[in-house]
Amino acid sequence: MITSVFVLASVLGALVAANFGMNYGRRTWILLGNFVEMIGTLISVTSYGSGQLIAGRVIVGLGNGFVNCMAPIYIAEMAVNVQARGRGVYMLGAVLVSGAAAAYWVDFGMGFAHGQVVWRLPVALQMVISLLSIALLIPLPDTPRWYYAKKRNEDGDEVLGRLCVANNEKELYEKTKTAILASLELEEEKHEKLRIKDIFWDTSATQSARRIRTGMILLAISQSQGEMNRPSFLVYYAATVFQKYLALPPLTASALSGAVTTTITVAAWITVPFIEKAGRRKWLIIGSCLQTVTLAIVTGLSSRPDYANSAAAAAFLFAFAAVLGATWDPFPIVYVSELMPLRFRHTGFCLSTSMLSLFSWLVVFAAPISFTHGGSREWTTWIWLLVFNAIAAPYVYFFCPETQDKTLEQIDLIFVSQRLRESSAGQKLVGSTGVALDSEEKS
């Protein structure tokens, strides 16, 4: 419970941001999240009992939920260049993986220390990251899309102008502004509200709930695969896995855990120059297939736990980590940040993130129980991850349209009804984006 309550609190943070995210802006929520994390860290690092430690982790998790929801949205909405948007959000995922790897190596170093510093110093380091984030973000404005959505057009014009100048693409200014305003007009034309029933079956003209549902399921699947850029089974229990299956001493197991997260980090950064070479769907489908194969081998070898099979399972776990780092670890966040409609982007992304955190809590809470009480069948814990890796490719193929090489406003055209597309606002959006959808995208 001490371990997993942080993730459960992140669900609450995501739900709070989903309800009130549009009121205060993307930047404000990120700053607030970092401030709340600092308070929680201070409570955690001064703990002298489990109750205080749990309270501190709840507060840190709450702030983490705010940041997790709004940081990808902030990056995606700041992009005026389509390729820069994908790289920016993908690199956020790569940095998150790098943070997980750094945390493991800090833990490894603490293995040589003694006393309270072993755990208090790593916990305290969270404050350094929060302070750095606050210092970098305070001088920056909010996103132009948020300003336009709040009818603060002058602020939106200023920020959008600065972004276009910074990219040496002044000609994009009018085109991007027209597309954003047309997209808002299109969303407001029907005056549709999100309804719970639409999450299950969306018959609305804008298909906003369908987009939110797609993102929620995608992130739930990604977290249940064992992804590393959020708290998950492999993040928390990699050292336990190496100790249990290979009977390695704690220090060696900790080093291998750091090596796994480093493998994911290296794979993620190596992939950065190539992320726009293929569509989001191709990366996710290919990654799912390769991950399923490697994890099936890990599962099979783990079912016969002699030393040779366990060593081979560890090797294939590294192969799984490499594929995960290049595909499913960063890409779902990229896809979901692009998928949501502007007026409900905070709601959709926050709800999707809440599903990610909820499934993360489920896995983190249940895994040690499975390991402890599984007896000779404890290897079946891997089946949970294997099932979700196997269903990921069919889900992406049938339910996730391609978003690469499209502006956020062009993505709106994939989902709106034909009647709404032919309305005056729809035609204005089509004209501003200069794109006509092909038959596959319309379907």
Instruction: State which of 167-176, 207-216, 298-307, 377-386 shows the largest mean pLDDT.
Output: 207-216
Looking at residue 140, what is its pLDDT?
93
Mean of the per-residue pLDDT values of the chain: 81
Looking at residue 439, what is its pLDDT?
43
Query: Mean of the pLDDT values across residues 159-163?
Result: 88
State which residues form the domain around 341: 5-442
**CATH number of the domain to which 184 belongs:** 1.20.1250.20
Question: Which amino acid belongs to residue 147?
Answer: Y
Q: Grade residue 381 by pLDDT with cuts at 50, 70 and 90.
A: confident
Residue 57 pLDDT > 70: yes
Encoded tokens for 393: 């490719």
| Gyration radius (Cα) of the chain, Å | 22
Instruction: State which of 58-62, 241-245, 425-429 shows the largest mean pLDDT.
Output: 58-62
Q: Grade residue 425 by pLDDT with cuts at 50, 70 and 90.
A: low
Looking at residue 424, what is its pLDDT?
66
CA distance linking residue 283 with residue 43, whole number of Å: 41
138: left (phi over 0), alpha (psi -120 to 50) or beta: alpha
pTM of the model: 0.77
Residue 191 pLDDT > 70: no
Query: Mean of the pLDDT values across residues 379-392?
Result: 84
Encoded tokens for 54: 């749990």
Phi, psi of 439 (to 5 degrees): -65, -35
Report the number of distinct structural domains present in the chain: 1
Query: Mean of the pLDDT values across residues 296-314?
Result: 79
Encoded tokens for 234: 């492999």
CA distance linking residue 20 with residue 211, whole number of Å: 19
CA distance linking residue 60 with residue 43, whole number of Å: 9
Query: Mean of the pLDDT values across residues 109-132?
Result: 89
